[in-house]
Amino acid sequence: MKSVFHKITVPVLCILLAGCDFDEINTNPNAPATATPGMLAAGQIGNMLIKSDNGKGFFFDHMISKHISWHEGTTEDSQYNRFGRWGFDVYLNLTNVQRMVEIADEIDQDAYTGLFLFIKAQRLFDLSLALGDIPYSGALQALDGVTSPKYDAQKDVMRQILNDLDSAYRHFENAGTRSFAGDITHFEGNPQKWQRAVSVLQLKTLINLSKKETSDPDLNIRARFAGIVASRQLMLSNGDNLQLTYGTQTSTKYPMYVLGGNRNSMYPDMTAPVMNPLKQYGDYRLFSLAEPSKYQMNPDSQTGLTESDWEAYQCVDPSGIFAEINRLHLDGKVSLLNNRFFELQEGQPAIKLGYAEQEFILAEARLRGWITGDANEYYKEGIRASMKFTGDHTPGGYAHGRPITDDWIEAFLQKPEIQLSGNTLTEENLSKIITQKYLAAFMHDTYTSYFDYRRTGYPVLPVNPESNQNTVPDRMPLRWMYSETEYQYNRENVLEAVQRQFDGNDEVNREMWILK
């Protein structure tokens, strides 16, 4: 690989940082500044974690996962399953992660190499889950003359992701206790914290290969999973979450917070897939995630309900006809998101990989016989972690009289109706685990919830043939289509990949390898 030293002016660097300096930049904007590994690290961690859109775009993935319904104007493609094309901008961003390693001092090489391999694996994992085959082995080699990379088969992509994460873990291990600059997460450049995130991403990759355990034995999925659990550092609490913590300064505020109020606060409605299980189990997270409906709280409605009454909270079927959803909303008969998401500058941290998700992955793996232990304990620890996170980030005034306390959590976890039935992979057990994982993902990385639904069928998300914009009216799409830019600039290779996977038809209902 050629060594390249890049100078970047501060305005360009601010673009790389997605408009979010997180106290890293205090330079004269009119003066050029030399890019450092720390600056590039901050930018690329930001690109991986930050949602910079403070409007409707912030909610597109939440509409796809049916965590929220949107009622502004007219039907939204994301809510009604009209999938388009998934861009390839990630490759341009990853070239900047390469530069970070190239210009790093020798003493920091291991830490920045580990970070590069982690970000590359994480971002291309998401891209492959969205599309199928993608360039991996030949990607990021433009300086070596490879400007039209071939597409790797998805199986090989996943194999390379797992291998890169093995290397990332070793590099972070070799980095010891020396912190690296530019880490805008609460890890503060601690390589040992990053090791734990690497382990969780490996487990996440392997659980997404659950359909391939017997059909592709050379991937060694079960043994590899068990080996990571037995020998690697895993997350121990919410303190190990890979997340971005927002603050009160202009550059660090939560995307949904807008001084004077965000008009988008009036559009996202609570949905049945979220609210129904919360009500079914008497889960106080409902009161920290939602606002009571205006109709139920209105004295003229003759309900006489208060903000702490369960029936004050109402939801919609997100697959319903738009006009019907809009009427419920205009009548105030549906709950909106909790005001804390719009009124608090620090909002809540945005979790990319978290302790709760890790525990739900372990619970599912135990059901599949990949590891030992008690699936019920992993599962309940995931619920506990999600509840503690929600309680810790909901100030008392936003909990509507039902705060989530440690005592309440422990009492909830003893309820007979939430328990798993042994360590057997039954539909009921799997449904409970994935549903709780879905609830924990609320207002975080909810593409994960769509990918879980696509893989397991849980939680059961509503599909209405009368409103569904998918070409197959009784189901959600299975993937996105390849970017138009690939057809313009890498046409031969994208056409070969589409032919290999989908008989030449780049279409949203085609089944990729990982789902077969």
Task: Look at residue 23 in the predicted model and tell me its pLDDT.
Answer: 41
Check: CB of residue 13 under 8 Å from CB of residue 242. no
Going by their DSSP bridges, the two strands 85-86 and 481-482 should be labelled as parallel
Check: CB of residue 153 under 8 Å from CB of residue 513. yes
DSSP string, 457-474: --S-----TTT--SSSTT
Q: C-alpha distances in angstroms, 514 versus 168, 194, 446, 451?
A: 24, 27, 19, 11
The pLDDT of residue 304 is above 50: yes
* Per-chain mean pLDDT for the chain: 91
The pLDDT of residue 305 is above 70: yes
List, in order, residues 6 or more apart from 109 with CB less than 8 Å away: 101
The pLDDT of residue 15 is above 80: no
List, in order, residues 6 or more apart from 165 with CB less than 8 Å away: 117, 118, 121, 198, 201, 202, 205
d(CA 381, CA 367): 15
More confident residue, 354 or 35: 354
**Average pLDDT score over residue span 5-13:** 29
d(CA 351, CA 510): 30
pTM of the model: 0.93
Residue tagged 């597409």 (tokens): 151
Q: How far is CA 42 from the centre of its chain?
A: 19
The pLDDT of residue 448 is above 50: yes
Return the ∠ at Cα 149 (arms to 145 and 155), rounded to 5°. Answer: 140
Q: How far is CA 259 from the centre of its chain?
A: 27
Neighbour-count burial of 491, counting CB atoms closer than 10 A to its CB (0-12 exposed, 13-18 middle, 19+ buried) = exposed
The pLDDT of residue 5 is above 50: no
The pLDDT of residue 27 is above 80: no
d(CA 198, CA 240): 11
| Per-residue pLDDT tens over the stretch 53-110 | 778 999 999 999 999 999 888 899 999 999 999 999 999 889 888 999 999 999 999 9
DSSP class of residue 134?
B
More confident residue, 17 or 400: 400
d(CA 157, CA 134): 7
Task: Look at residue 30 in the predicted model and tell me its pLDDT.
Answer: 40
The pLDDT of residue 12 is above 80: no
Provide the pLDDT confidence category of residue 250 given band limits of 50, 70 and 90. confident
Provide the pLDDT confidence category of residue 143 given band limits of 50, 70 and 90. low
Structure tokens at 38: 């720390």
| Per-residue pLDDT tens over the stretch 205-221 | 999 999 999 999 999 99
**Average pLDDT score over residue span 182-201:** 97
For the CA atoms of 189, 243, 199, 230, the dihedral, rounded to the nearest 10 degrees, stands at 100
Domains (range + CATH), the chain: 60-83+240-477 (1.20.120.840), 87-234+480-516 (1.25.40.390)
d(CA 309, CA 292): 9
Structure tokens at 368: 């599949």
The pLDDT of residue 356 is above 60: yes
Task: Look at residue 298 in the predicted model and tell me its pLDDT.
Answer: 85
Structure tokens at 317: 């079927």
Structure tokens at 65: 């996962």
* Sign of the four-CA dihedral 116, 117, 120, 125: negative
Provide the pLDDT confidence category of residue 277 given band limits of 50, 70 and 90. very high
Provide the pLDDT confidence category of residue 33 given band limits of 50, 70 and 90. low
